[in-house]
Amino acid sequence: MTMKKITIGMLAHVDAGKTTLTESFLYLSKKIRSMGRVDKGNTFLDYDKQERQRGITIFSKQVIFSYGDTQFFLLDTPGHVDFSSEMERTLSVLDYGIMIISALDGVQSHTKTIFELLKLYHKPCFIFVNKMDVDYVDKHDLLKNLQQQLDVNCIDMEDEESVACHDEKLLSRYLATNQLDTTLIADNIAKRRLFPVYFGSALKLMKVEKFMQALADHTIMPNYPEEFRAQIFKISYEANTKLTHMKITGGSLRVKSYINDEKVDQIRLYDGAKFSLCEEASSGSVVAIKGLEKVYAGMGLGAQADHKLQLSSYMRYELILEKGCDPYNIYRMLQKVQDEDPSLQLSYDQGKIHLSLMGEVQTEILSNMIKERFGINVSFGDGEISYGETITNAVEGVGHFEPLRHYAEVHLLLEPIEKGVEFVNAVGNNDDMHYQNVIMNHLQSMELKGILTNSPLMNIRISLLGFKAHLKHSEPNDFKEACQRAIRHGLMRTSNILLEPYYDFVITSANIYLSKILFELEQRKAQFTVSAHGNDHSIIKGEGSMANLLDIPRELLAYTKGTAKINLDVKGYRPCEEPDKVVSLHAYDPDHDAQNPSGSIFCKQGAGFYVEYQEVENYMHLPYFFHPVKDSLLPDGNKHKISDAELQRVWNNTYRSTDKKIKNPKQKKDTFDEYHDIKVSKPQCLLVDGYNVIFGWDDLKKLAKDNLDMARNRLLDRMAEYKAYRYDLLIVVFDAYKLDTNKERVYEDHDIFVVYTKGKQTADTYIEKAVGKLNKDYLVTVVTSDNLEQLTIMQQKAHRMSVRELQKDYALLKRMLHEKLQKERTVFYNHSLKDIMKYFQED
């Protein structure tokens, strides 16, 4: 009987028990005689010296074992966030993912990242909830958490009725036979309609064998084609010998056969630290090949497509060398490390070596690796955040390259997309298919950079609209030059946005430190929610920019004396909060970047000459293909215009009473009477996000550092004064994180209303609900500087006011009130001390 081959990958957040579960698999399948332990440094797969010292998995490794009628190729992957790219590279060759979740921690931010990657790569997944031997964990709560955080189709496989009700065919078979159909379950899992969940303990072998039996019963071997295909997922070096790790996804591969004109010298079947040689590898096998040099990690062989990573490094470091070292020679030596991990993005410029890394742990591992392999001591400079750039509008870029005896012109359409980088051939088939392929290959291999900070381009689609070649003088590299110039030409002609990476974070801390933590997060402009965790701890979940939160772990550990726990996970890029500041610091000038010119080269009278990007359209040989609509049109096709007179009428009717028209509102100075006599159709209500205002008002923010209660009271005093002259109803809302109650607390203070929300409710949530109710009877304005909350408010047709606007309006009110009182006083007296003392002297 032929055994089915299944490739499984162990995937988990760090410390979830991934390595321990692997040990239990090997022990129960009789692969090893006794289970190793991470804390003792004797596990089967963590044989690397640094892995044993740190107790974490750093490099993906392979082991082969059999259970039942199934031969498993198990790939163990790193769980630490800093080595996410190593984990992601293995996903391309998996048949099934095994996600391990700690019952003590539940679903972490990095767990969600892994689950999203499995969805992106269409990989089915089994879930093992580990560490269930702890008494206080609740199985039902854990399952509910999985369904809420990951997918509603996460089903406890011990609950047969829930499994049966998951699918109509499965339910019919179950009602007829009172048994679950193994084939139907396997089919649902393979199609990602079902995510089977098992609960147990890897360390104590609790229900692990049952889980292994399910893997054997509920997995389906893929149907592989007869022609040879393979997916390369890893490159490693044995001394100076390059090893190519791949999965055979079609046909077979024999020793001495050729792949792209390179001969296969060896086929190795790795099993932990050891390997065996084989003459032929069939479909489904995961092997390492010796003899290939022109290959790279992620490359597809045969009809197999290349695999591109979704995760990327977000920090850029300079490599600091010892005195006397030749930077360029070191750079050439490190090319092997770059082959193993393409996400390093190694670069050399003006005697400096830079590379991209995920975090501080990776810098330590890499420096030790370089010392061990090359005998060189290196260190790393302070990391710089890797920014990104994209565009806001579609634009056509033109690149022309025509020095003497060369010719190429390329027209590209640049469009913003939600995520990633895409390349499209929009020309279609014609007689110049050779040049089309050349252009597309150049685009996919180019390093795309933006014009704001010379950072990588992302969230963009580049489409080939047209091109022109010369019968005699065009060469492939001419089109590379034209493509580079076309992209830069397009970027210079449209609006560009700077993007920055942002964190998802989870902080667990004792309540005695909660106020300090919340204050720090407010200062760093983070968005977050707080929930109770036991009687004396809280969990804070949120997000914020990497620039603001980069040093939060160190600060957090310092003022909580090492008791707090924080998990940070980079979730991608979004528009930068302070783009002007970042652009200024980079000081990049795209007009004088000789490596990335935005202009083109044309030929006249046998000599080439440079044309600036603004003038390219006056010289280009092909017309524009893309013609954007510049004016927005109404449905009937009429252009919408507003005259100056109409704008004047709207101003007068909206902001001033009808008997006080203003011909030139910009030159009119506000007076207190006009400020107070603004006429509106409804009574006005002001909703104030209390803590948002405190931490956005300069003097209140300083006061809150020493005494938050005093800052609250001072805000309430100001709002009472503000309400008396400006609003009919004023409500100040505070988050009540520390109140252990299910009801909000409302009271009246100086003719304003103060609300403390429920114990687990944020001010944002309360205000959003309140706006919906108050809108019927009031003209509602909400004071907050929270961008997301402002957007929600506008969708509910309420007005918004930033904290800075409130501060200015309050100052204006105080000034005008002071001027009014000064005018009403007609006589002023100056008294000396001698005049006053007579009232206090005794007779």
Q: Judge whether residue 829 has pLDDT over 60.
A: no
CB 127 within 8 A of CB 197: yes
Which range (57-61, 529-533, 766-770, 833-837) has the least confidence? 833-837
The DSSP bridge partners found for residue 229 are 250
pLDDT for 221-243, tens place per residue?
A: 999 999 999 999 999 888 888 99
230-253 as b/e: b if 16+ CB within 10 A: bbbbbbbeeeeebbbbbbbbbbeb
Q: Name beta bridge partners: 246.
A: 232, 287
Angstrom distances, CA of residue 356 to CA of 88, 214, 421, 554, 768: 16, 40, 19, 21, 42
Two structure tokens written together for 834: 């001698």
Query: Rounded to whole angstroms, how far apart are CA atoms 600 and 614?
Result: 10
Per-residue pLDDT tens digits for 705-722: 888 888 888 999 899 888
Over 319-384, what HEC string results? EEECCCCCHHHHHHHCHHHHHHCHHHCCEEECCEEEEEECCHHHHHHHHHHHHHHHCCCEEECCCE
CA 642, distance to chain mean position in Å, is 42
What is the Cα–Cα distance from 97 to 56, expressed in whole angstroms? 19
Average pLDDT of 420-428?
85
Q: What is the pLDDT of residues 149-200, one digit of tens each?
A: 899 999 999 988 889 888 888 888 888 898 899 999 999 999 999 999 999 9
Cα(682)–Cα(692) distance, integer angstroms: 27
Q: What is the pLDDT of residues 622-677, one digit of tens each?
A: 999 987 754 433 334 344 444 555 555 555 554 444 444 444 444 444 454 444 44
For the chain, the average pLDDT equals 84
Is residue 478 within 8 A of residue 406, CB to CB? The reply is yes
Q: State the Cα–Cα distance between residues 15 and 811, nearest whole angstrom.
A: 54
Q: With bands split at pLDDT 50, 70 and 90, how would you rate the model's confidence at 762?
A: confident
Selection from 720, 745, 721 nearest residue 733 by Cα: 745
CA triple 729-734-739, angle to 5 deg: 130
State the pLDDT confidence band at 834, using cuts at 50, 70 and 90: low
Contact (CB, 8 A) for 397 and 489: yes
Dist. CA 799–CA 629, nearest whole Å:
32
Query: What's the rounded mean pLDDT across residues 487-506?
Result: 92
What's the pTM? 0.63
Please name the residues in contact with 6: beta carbons below 8 A apart, sequence gap of 6 or more. 70, 71, 72, 73, 95, 96, 215, 219, 221, 284
Measuring CA to CA, how many Å separate 759 from each of 540, 704, 748? 13, 21, 20
Percent of the chain scored above 70 by pLDDT?
88
Tell me if residue 808 falls in helix, strand or coil. helix
Using CA of residue 91, residue 93, residue 94, residue 100, what is the dihedral sign?
negative
